[in-house]
Amino acid sequence: MKHPKEHYKSLPKVNGYKWSFYEKGFHTFQKGNNREGYLSLTLTESDIEANQTFEHMLKNDISRTI
């Protein structure tokens, strides 16, 4: 992680996805609830830094493969 955890927590919510956690070089964004289940997307630091890529991936449910 390049920035403090609070930086990622304050990223805008896109298509219902919000930042959840960082693990092994990847950031995970999730949306959903306990009743209906959750969807998770994995992005890299460079995906987040490139604002167009960040929004495109979240709007279109695109995830990096781990």
Note the pLDDT tens digit of each residue in 11-37: 999 999 999 999 999 999 999 999 999
| Predicted pLDDT at 44 | 97
**Sign (positive or negative) of CA dihedral 27, 33, 35, 41:** negative
Structural domain boundaries enclosing 21: 5-59
With respect to residue 32, please indicate whether it lies within any of the assigned structural domains: yes
Q: How many structural domains does the chain have?
A: 1
This prediction's pTM: 0.91
| Predicted pLDDT at 29 | 98
Model confidence at 51, pLDDT cuts 50, 70, 90, reads very high
With respect to residue 37, please indicate whether it lies within any of the assigned structural domains: yes
| Predicted pLDDT at 20 | 97
Tell me the residue type at 10. S
With respect to residue 66, please indicate whether it lies within any of the assigned structural domains: no
Cβ neighbours of residue 58 under 8 Å, at least 6 residues apart? 14, 15, 17, 29, 41
Tell me the residue type at 59. K
